[in-house]
Amino acid sequence: MTLLRCSKIQNLKDLILAHLDTKKKVDVFAFSVYSLVVFPKALGHVDEAVTDLFD
């Protein structure tokens, strides 16, 4: 639950809710999920063995 309280996540949530265009909502949501998955892996916060579980 602490991840949902993160200011970055909260800002993305507010941005998604502020837009009325559905395509923009989907694009912003997809980018937020992408950033949560890829950027921690690139920074070395997630072990390679953990990411192999989802392949």
Provide the pLDDT for residue 46: 66
Give the pLDDT confidence of 11-30 residue by residue, as tens digits: 777 776 776 577 777 777 78
Q: Does the reported pTM lie above 0.75?
A: no
Provide the pLDDT for residue 1: 41
Q: Please name the helix (run of DSSP H) or strand (run of DSSP E) that holds residue 21, with its range, or none.
A: none
| Secondary structure of residue 11 in the 3-state scheme | helix
Q: How many Cα atoms occupy the beta-carbon half-sphere of 47 within 13 Å?
A: 3
Q: Is the pLDDT of residue 3 over 60?
A: no
pLDDT-derived band at 7 (thresholds 50, 70, 90) equals low
Q: Where are the domains of the chain?
A: 7-52
User: In sequence order, what are the residues at sequence separation of 6 or more whose Cβ sits closer than 8 angstroms to the Cβ of residue 41?
Assistant: 51
Which residue type is seen at 39?
A: F
Q: What mean pLDDT comes out for the span 38-50? A: 68
